[in-house]
Chains A and B, each alone.
Chain A
């Protein structure tokens, strides 16, 4: 509903205000008269007409110039009007790279997720006032700079879709740390996106990735402690969601998807198997490293190599990485050295990891490892 109102007025504040008004009128009338045949269309039409009235009033009263062009009001629209779905336009507007990333994230959650400002503030651990300012700054920039309310054309689409997917994945990862259930919200957004772009493999890849990870969330912690994949209680996995994620992955691959999200989803899917083919996982990490050029991906490839039974090759792959400030570089080195029987070096590596660890579960995990020697 908000999407079609923003599409109509090109103005988030006006759209939100109009939507609230329409809901208020509905709350007043529907209990007596019963809801109309198509409540969604009724709300949009009512909101649109209210907003147009308001714009007209403002124009005559204040001689306001520079308002956006107002579409002709259609006052006698019947209840079964089909309202154009403009959520895709809204997503691309909210995730426009000219907006600061934190503004993109907040606006996406507010406008598409329908989350209250207070909830978004809580999720990102900032005061509500800060979040309110962040949102209004983003909305003001959209309006003042003429960020278009449209799906970008072919030459821009690939880059801009990457930006949209990055925002959704960022929202997902905020939830991954367990603070607020942003994971479920990100999946909902991912579903909307995949539904609206049925031929985009990476949109399906991202959704598959999030679903398969999300399905394992209850097994990831035991109380406050991190549980490694090997030790997770698989009965806590949401097998329905894993199956749905895999179906999404199949669709992405059938669409020719070979991008970073599709490859990551394929890795997650393999890791959710009863018996994990670590050689295949290592191969996929190699492909992902080629796509992203990320040393962290190389580190994951090394872990897969070790799991496949070759800790010496894994250690060789780790030693060349320039990740000295990264906790998991040291903990991985420690584990590989331990498996190779080089205990002194292993302990030193684990200690280095412990120095870098900030969260309580991580510190506890590393301390236990050190005590295990």
Chain B
């Protein structure tokens, strides 16, 4: 089954870390991206770069900023293949943001 691991965390958490912790975090992100069970790994640019799009009456409307105005923002997504929820949770727990004050939302992907 495929699972999306969505990373929510306060922006700038990485820069606040001491040098070696920062390196360890990058290494962990890269290791998960290289795991054979990882299908997609996407780090997102900052929430300031977000544009929210809506279509009403045939017109495309745009607003600056992310969909939800929250302290934590979506910072990245992994798409992984796992046997069950426990395996997906085990992969999610390796994501540095999860131990650095953020949270990883695990959601199964509807098969096509």
Q: Which residue of A lies closest to B86 (CB)?
A: A148
CB pair A98–B85 under 8 Å, yes or no, is: yes
CB pair B85–A146 under 8 Å, yes or no, is: yes
CB pair A146–B108 under 8 Å, yes or no, is: yes
CB pair A145–B86 under 8 Å, yes or no, is: no
Q: Collect the chain B residues with CB atoms within 8 Å of residue A152's CB.
A: 86
CB pair A156–B86 under 8 Å, yes or no, is: yes
* A121 within 8 A of partner (CB): no
Q: Collect the chain B residues with CB atoms within 8 Å of residue A66's CB.
A: 111
Cα A300 to Cα B89 in complex, Å, equals 38
Q: Which residue of A lies closest to B84 (CB)?
A: A148
Query: What distance in Å separates the Cβ of B83 from its nearest Cβ neighbour in chain A?
Result: 8
Query: What distance in Å separates the Cβ of B89 from its nearest Cβ neighbour in chain A?
Result: 7
CB pair A146–B84 under 8 Å, yes or no, is: yes
Residues of chain B at interface, number, CB under 8 A? 13
Query: What distance in Å separates the Cβ of B92 from its nearest Cβ neighbour in chain A?
Result: 11
Cα A147 to Cα B83 in complex, Å, equals 10
Mask of A120-161 contacts with B, CB within 8 angstroms, 1/0 = 000000000000000000000000111110101000100000
CB pair A147–B84 under 8 Å, yes or no, is: yes
CB pair B85–A145 under 8 Å, yes or no, is: yes
Q: Which residue of A lies closest to B108 (CB)?
A: A145
CB pair A146–B1 under 8 Å, yes or no, is: yes
Identify which of residues 78-111 in chain A touch chain B, using a CB-to-CB cut-off of 8 Å: 96, 98
State which of A98, A144, A150 has its C-beta within 8 Å of the C-beta of B89.
A98
Cα A150 to Cα B84 in complex, Å, equals 10
Cα A256 to Cα B12 in complex, Å, equals 47
Q: Which residue of B lies closest to A160 (CB)?
A: B86
Query: What distance in Å separates the Cβ of B110 from its nearest Cβ neighbour in chain A?
Result: 9
Cα A145 to Cα B88 in complex, Å, equals 10
Q: Which residue of B lies closest to A153 (CB)?
A: B86
Cα A147 to Cα B111 in complex, Å, equals 16
Cα A66 to Cα B108 in complex, Å, equals 14
Identify which of residues 17-34 in chain A touch chain B, using a CB-to-CB cut-off of 8 Å: none
Q: Which residues from chain A sit less than 8 Å from chain B, CB to CB?
A: 66, 96, 98, 144-148, 150, 152, 156
Closest 3 CB pairs of A and B: A148-B84, A146-B84, A146-B1
12 cross-chain CB contacts under 8 A:
A66-B111, A98-B89, A145-B106, A145-B107, A146-B82, A146-B88, A146-B108, A147-B85, A147-B86, A148-B83, A150-B84, A156-B86
